[in-house]
A and B are shown apart, each in its own frame.
Chain A
Amino acid sequence: MPVVMDADRMGRTLTRIAHEIVERNRGVDHLALVGVRTRGVPIASRLASRLHDITGRDVPVGALDITLYRDDLMHNPVGPQPVVRSTDIPFSIDDRVIVLVDDVLYTGRTVRAALDELIDFGRPQAIQLVVIVDRGHRELPIKADYVGKNLPTSRAESVSVRLAETDGRDEVVIEKDPGEDAS
């Protein structure tokens, strides 16, 4: 179970991404962060606090649960429905630059769902994408604007971003997926 990013490195990565966000947007006016549940949300909060450290300004943070927008929801007649959690976007997204935050970018299907859901909340000026790990294997024409680490993987592997808030510690690990042989 190789660790490809430890806590120190993850901290530096988030700081670097925060600086890139400020540089690219020439500040943080009209900016808002939206984390994709589950792990995108704490990452978005951490980025918000770094953006505050850099610019002295507060950037609003929202949470998006994309379950009801998944493209596989009604294509799987057996099996239970995935658990839905709350979406919470306590600000207008109209004319803001929305920085969407997720842990791993893989097929791109989550991001597709997140884009569709965001558009139902209004018309942002732009949407940018932050991911901690881009592991390749895209199935949709989607690309991240800010990437913590590009990690070439095989489909038989799985990449887990673990966070202190949800998993007790910060690290990124790559492991052989035990479920892969079974299917």
Chain B
Amino acid sequence: MNADTTRPTPAAPASPSDGSPIPANRLRGKDLVGIAELSVEEITLILDTALAMKEISSRPIKKVPALRGKTVVNLFFEASTRTRTSFEIAEKRLSADTLNIAASTSSVVKGETLADTVHNIEAMSPDLLVVRHSSSGSCHFLSRICRAGVINAGDGMHEHPTQALLDAFTIRERKGRLAGLKVAICGDLLHSRVLRSNLLLLTKMGADVWLCGPPTLIPAGFAQSGVHVTSSVDEAVEGADAVMMLRIQLERMLGGFFPSLREYFNVFGMTQDRVRRAKPDVLIMHPGPMNRGVEISSDVADGPYSVILDQVANGVAVRMAILYLLSGGAEHEAVA
């Protein structure tokens, strides 16, 4: 390759003096299926790239030509407003051509299988597929049968990696680091893919994670994964740097996990009184959509520590970073 010294060469990252992780220079895979597959260095690369992407949304012209000529298909087999909008805005700000397919308007309702639907879309040569599906593992399955890169926008009760990355970005932006922070995650631990991705990400990055929820909504096995599990909100929130509330997912609940929503709020809901146990500069987070008066009170959701809307804004930057990083070749180094 002809050395062009007028181009900024991706300089070797200087070793950060504060002990923060050194970013990788690329993502290893063509897909983003879950946090489980990412290394600390790759996570750091995504978060650092997102920092650069965030500035673009504050420009008079919120668009850069980086993904010109790339086609991204947003394939949503499950309802979504925030995530789909966020991905679509991220794609448009990078100049990609985007296409939205919702399950309700697709051939899926005519009985086509997931593999057939995706093979048909792939025949039209998209570069990236953003997929949300109600079955856990569906994105992993698609990543194996697709040539295009697959980005998991939530698969069943498995993972929601972009949400965890934007949560981590939001915490890092405010606190400067992730390692050593106490992060409490409260709510429906059983049905939450947001929790699984966050748990993996935060423990990889060295945060001290506390999980809290009704015993009926705590899956077996979490206690062994090196995190603290409790059914006392006060204990989880005590001295916390960040508190993430999870939505009570009524649509996924087939049995009676707790007596009533009102009782749930009384025992597990995040109120001003409970927030006072945390650090004075605690961050209150929620992946949305919120059930006000169930897992979180309105005065906390709209309060001064709430970064819930920052999370939404940061989601665009994080997704731009992922789209950008996955649209290059990932498998091999460049050969001139």
Contacts and interface: CB of A to CB of B under 8 A. Distances in A.
Contact of A70 (B7, B23, B45, B332): B7
B123 interface: no
A155 B2 contact: yes
B3 A76 contact: no
Report whether over half of chain B's contact residues are helix, strand or loop; otherwise say mixed: loop
Interface in B6-40: 6-8, 10-11, 23, 25-27
Contacts of B94: 68
Interface stretch (B65-73, B148-156, B168-176, B197-205): B65-73
Contact of B70 (A74, A79, A177): A74
A38 interface: yes
A107 interface: yes
Contact of B65 (A69, A81, A86, A111): A69
Interface in B301-336: 321, 324-325, 327-336
A120 B5 contact: no
A45 interface: no
B63 interface: yes
A36 B5 contact: no
B327 A81 contact: yes
A16 to B, nearest CB: 22
Nearest to A67: B8
Interface string A109-141: 111000011001110000000000001000000
Nearest to B5: A104
B324 A84 contact: yes
A183 B2 contact: yes
Contact of A120 (B45, B61, B67, B331): B61
A81 B328 contact: yes
Interface in A117-173: 117, 120-122, 135, 155, 158-160
Contacts of B63: 120
Interface in A53-82: 65-70, 73-74, 76-82
A84 B49 contact: yes
Interface string B115-148: 0000000000000000000000000000000000
B1 interface: yes
A9 interface: no
B55 interface: yes
Contacts of B65: 68-69, 116
Contact of B3 (A70, A74, A121, A179): A179
B26 A36 contact: no
A7 B3 CA distance: 24
A180 interface: yes
A165 to B, nearest CB: 12
B53 interface: yes
Contacts of A177: 3
Contacts of B79: none
A158 B328 contact: no
A103 B4 CA distance: 12
A83 interface: yes
Contacts of B332: 78-79
B51 interface: yes
B101 interface: no
Given A76-B329, A79-B328, A121-B60, A86 B52 contact: yes
11 contacts: A68-B94, A69-B65, A74-B69, A76-B329, A78-B329, A79-B329, A80-B333, A83-B23, A83-B48, A103-B5, A158-B3
Given A79-B328, A109-B4, A158-B5, 20 more contacts: A65-B52, A74-B70, A74-B327, A78-B335, A79-B334, A80-B27, A80-B328, A80-B329, A83-B10, A84-B53, A85-B52, A86-B55, A87-B55, A88-B55, A106-B5, A106-B6, A107-B6, A111-B6, A122-B60, A155-B2
